[in-house]
Structure 1
Amino acid sequence: MTAAEAAGREAPAPTCVHYSTSWRYTFVTNTCDTPQHVTVEYHDGRTVPCRTAGPGDTVTFPGYGTGDDGVRAVLLCAAPPQ
Structure 2
Amino acid sequence: MRSTITGLTAGLLAVSSGVAAQAASHEAEAGWDSPPACVHVNSGWRYTFVTNECSSAYDLTVVYSDGTNVPCRLASPGDIISFPGYGTQGNKVLGVALCATDGDT
TM-score where L is the length of structure 2: 0.64
More helix by share: 2
Distance in 1 of aligned mates of 2:59 and 2:32: 11
How many aligned residue pairs are there? 73
Q: Which residue of 39, 49, 52 corresponds with 1:17?
A: 39
The runs of at least 4 consecutive aligned structure 1 residues that moved more than 6 Å come to none
The 5 Å alignment of 1:1-80 reads 9-78=31-100
| Superposed CA RMSD | 1.7
Deviations 1:13-34 (A, max 9, x none): 1111001011100000000001
Aligned-pair identity in percent equals 53
Gaps of at least 5 residues in structure 2 are: 1-27
Contact kept in structure 2, 1:31 and 1:56, CA below 8 Å:
yes
Q: 1:68 Cα deviation (Å)?
A: 2.6
Distance in 2 of aligned mates of 1:55 and 1:65: 28
Q: Indicate the structure whose relative CO is greater, using CA pairs within 8 Å and at least 6 residues apart.
A: 1
More strand by share: 1
Larger radius of gyration: 2
